[in-house]
Structure 1
Amino acid sequence: MEEKNIESIMGLIMYGGNAKSDAMEAIAAAKEGNFELADQKLKDASASLVEAHHSQTGLLTQEAQGDHMTVTLLTVHAQDHLMTSIAFTDLAKELVDVYRKIDEK
């Protein structure tokens, strides 16, 4: 596998992991009533997802240009990791909103 592909794949894993971690921290902060921190952690998670998407876009562009890549278990894992992180971040946003509404009552 080419080095540029490995870097992109590792970017998916790393930034996806960062996003999921920040989203989890956002939920914990909201649970404690610290909505300023929760909002910051959600912003951090979103920023990490943007970076992950940049890595993904590079791989997709390469494929679209006819430079096909061998799909390995690492590639599949990276994509799965990213998709899980996106779903988890979306759920974290909803949970922070729920905690905010509970706190307002």
Structure 2
Amino acid sequence: MDSETTIMTILVNAGEARSQCMTALQCARNGDFVRAGELLADSDNFIKAAHRIQTQLIGEDQGEGRVPMTLIMVHAQDHLMNAILARELINEMVILYQRQQQ
């Protein structure tokens, strides 16, 4: 995979993961916890896909600067980190909404 495709793959998957998480939060707010859980599970798949690419890049780089670091690469990494954080926080928020409704 060329560098541009690799970076775009991270961006697209991370963006979709974050989007799924935000939709899950809306569902939880509306009391649809089954759908919220499905969306969070879907977000996991997108995060895993992006993380696989990230891991591949780390392996290619081997800590020796073999993979060129560009602004778009940093942007993609930022998106992935934010998606992972959103997933973790929104999962906790869904649990809180469930407890509140009980």
Instruction: Say whether 1:64 aligns with 2:62.
Output: yes
Q: Any idea what the Cα deviations from partners look like across 1:28-50, whole Å, max 9, x if unmatched? A: 00000000100000001111100
- Cα offset, 1:70, TM superposition: 1.5
Q: CA RMSD in A?
A: 1.5
2:7 equivalent in structure 1: 9
Aligned equivalent of 1:99: 97
Determine if contact 1:8/1:58 at 8 Å carries over to the other structure. Answer: no
- Partner of 1:42, secondary structure, is helix
Q: In structure 2, what is the equivalent of residue 37 of structure 1?
A: 35
Structure 2, unpaired ranges of 5+: none
Is contact 1:20–1:89 with CA below 8 Å preserved after alignment? yes
Q: Mean Cα displacement is larger for which, 5-14 or 36-45?
A: 5-14
Superposed CA offset, 1:65-97 (max 9, x none): 867122110000000110011111111101100
Deviation of the 1:7 alpha carbon: 1.7
Residue among 20, 23, 26 paired with 2:24 = 26
Which whole-Å CA distance do the structure 2 matches of 1:80 and 1:65 have between them? 19
User: Where do 4+ consecutive residues of structure 1 move more than 3 Å?
Assistant: none
Question: Which sections of structure 1, spanning at least 5 residues, go unmatched?
Answer: none
Give identity over the alignment, percent.
32
The count of corresponding residues between Structure 1 and Structure 2 is 102
Q: Tell me how far apart the structure 2 counterparts of residues 78 and 100 of structure 1 sit (CA, whole Å).
A: 33
Residue 52 of structure 2 corresponds to 54
